[in-house]
Every structure is written in structure tokens, then in C-alpha cells.
Amino acid sequence: MRAFGDEGTVVEHPRAGETFAVGDLRIDVLSPNACYHGTESDANNDAIVVMLSWREDTILFATEPEEPAQQTMLDSGARLQADVLKVPHHGAATSLPEFFDAVDPELAVVSVGPNPYGHPVPETLAELRSTGAEVIRTDREGDVTVEFDTGGPSVDSAA
């Protein structure tokens, strides 16, 4: 934050309900709606979640939200369905099956590397697969690139 201040950069804190456009790309902020206090991980629940829409294609970047933030998004009635889901919290056991059901992705990308926590956990992977999603893991596939064409999302990986 000091570096931003030193450069005179304006720092913004987008909240749920805000929308931005960059050319044909629409960015909808879905979370957080306020700062969390008293959850298992306030920092994770405070993480930004955005839906990117370009033409008919959608990607939900669910960075780190855990159950409380996911429940708030579900309760808000926000449109969560997306073609691609960046899986929350590296596939930890901190997600609601109802959240995955609401997103109903064709493709779920788990951004994860070696870690002492056991991420991603088998239960989360099973819940994702139960939605019909193809699950891609960066610890196995390396860097992942998702492109959209007339047939929906296609994946290229370093592996």
C-alpha cells in the first residue's frame, strides 16, 4: 500500500454489485459485499470474486471465498453460472456443494501447487465432478490457458 501511495496511485476497493467494462469485456464484482469479521478466515472471505463475460462466454474467478462468502453470494441471487470456474481456495475443503451446483461449470480449474495442506481435497474434486465439470489441476497440467470458440471453452496446458 505504501508503494501505491508513493506513486500517487488511487486504490479502489470494489464491492459486490459493481460492474466495469473494458471494451467488450464485462466485469461483475460478486464478492465481497463487506469486510468479514469472525470467520475461520476473514482474509479469504474478503477476497474479490469476479465474473468475466465476453459475448456469450463467462468465467467465474472465485479466488479464495470460503463457505460464508459463498453462502452470501448464493443468498444474494447473483447469477453464478459460468462456463469456466477458477476453483476457490486451491480446492480446499472450504466450499459449499451448492456453490458448485449454482456455477455449474463446463470446466473447473484448480490453481494449486505442492502444499502441506493436501489441496485439492478429494471431496472437493468429487463435488466439482458431480456437476459434470471437467476438472483441470495446475499441479498436474502446469500452466493452463482457456480459450473460447464456437464449441465452448478449450484448454491448453503446459503438460
In a structure prediction context, what are the per-residue pLDDT tens digits for the chain, which is 159 residues long? 899 889 999 888 899 999 999 998 999 999 999 899 998 899 999 999 999 998 889 999 999 999 999 999 999 999 999 999 999 999 999 999 999 999 999 999 999 999 999 999 999 999 999 999 999 999 999 999 998 877 778 888 877
pLDDT given at position 12: 85
Using DSSP bridges, classify how beta strands 49-54 and 57-62 pair: parallel, antiparallel or unpaired.
antiparallel
pLDDT given at position 114: 93
Using DSSP bridges, classify how beta strands 134-137 and 57-62 pair: parallel, antiparallel or unpaired.
unpaired
- In this prediction the pTM is 0.91
Give the whole-angstrom CA distance, residue 25 versus residue 48.
18
**Long-range Cβ contact pairs of 71-75 (< 8 A, separation 24 or more):** 71/96, 71/99, 72/16, 72/31, 72/32, 72/33, 73/16, 73/30, 73/31, 73/49, 73/99, 74/98, 74/99, 74/102
Give the whole-angstrom CA distance, residue 79 versus residue 51.
9
